[in-house]
Structure 1
Amino acid sequence: MTTDTEKTAQQADAFLAGKKKADDAAFMLGRVLAEMDIRVGDRDSWPQLMGRASLSGEPSVYLGTVPMATVRKLVDALIYAESAKRCQRDADDA
């Protein structure tokens, strides 16, 4: 049986581990966006991006409110990437 202190310490450890995973994911997403000339922290591009974690340690990334022009740019890039992936798969199958 765990004491309240041990349970609190385990919860804090889980939170910190989840926060680190979320921060790492947010950092990597920020790097990918930078490669696409989308600036995180810029009100006209992508105002806010941050890692978060629940008390149970479940990581998440908060994306904030993103301007429509940035969303369109990201959607176009994702559609292009999926199309290129399918073309490559079709070429490999032929």
Structure 2
Amino acid sequence: MTPETESAARQADAFMTGKRRADDVAFMLGRVLAHMGIRVGDPDSWPQLAGRASLSGEPYVYLGTVPLATARKVIDALLYAQAAKRKQDDRDLGHDG
């Protein structure tokens, strides 16, 4: 192989690895959203969710445009989870201290 084809092959491998990682994360996020009653692919709930990767292989998840009601539902869930975590942390500190 020439240096150019080796470089192209490495770049393609990095891209595919990043794409697989991003697809896995998008799938897991879709499962979490489904558990919350948010339907991925439904224009009224969460129209788009896709794993993507840059040419360098950096994975990311494209969330698309999310309706305000859905965004608020996710925000409320995150706030509740953070408050529950803080409450548990406070309990843990109280037992140790």
| TM-score by shorter chain over 0.5 | yes
Amino acid across the alignment from 1:61: V
Tell me the SS of whatever aligns to 2:24: helix
**Per-residue displacement from partner, 1:8-31 (whole Å, max 9, x unpaired)?**
000000000000000000000000
**Per-residue displacement from partner, 1:64-83 (whole Å, max 9, x unpaired)?**
00000000000000000000
1:66 aligns with 66
1:79 aligns with 79
List runs of 5+ in structure 2 lacking aligned partners.
none
Tell me the SS of whatever aligns to 1:55: coil
Query: Please, what TM-score do these two structures have when normalized by structure 2?
Result: 0.94
Q: Does 2:13 align with 1:46? A: no
Query: Please, what TM-score do these two structures have when normalized by structure 1?
Result: 0.97
Which contiguous aligned blocks of 4+ residues in structure 1 show a shift greater than 4 angstroms? none
1:7 aligns with 7
Q: Between the two proteins, what is the percent identity of the paired residues?
A: 71
- RMSD across aligned positions (CA): 0.7
Distance 1:9 1:78 in 2: 41
Distance 2:59 2:33 in 1: 20
**Per-residue displacement from partner, 1:30-51 (whole Å, max 9, x unpaired)?**
0000000000000000000000
List runs of 5+ in structure 1 lacking aligned partners.
none
Distance 2:7 2:90 in 1: 53
Distance 1:41 1:18 in 2: 23
1:16 aligns with 16
Aligned length: 93
Q: Does 2:29 align with 1:29? A: yes
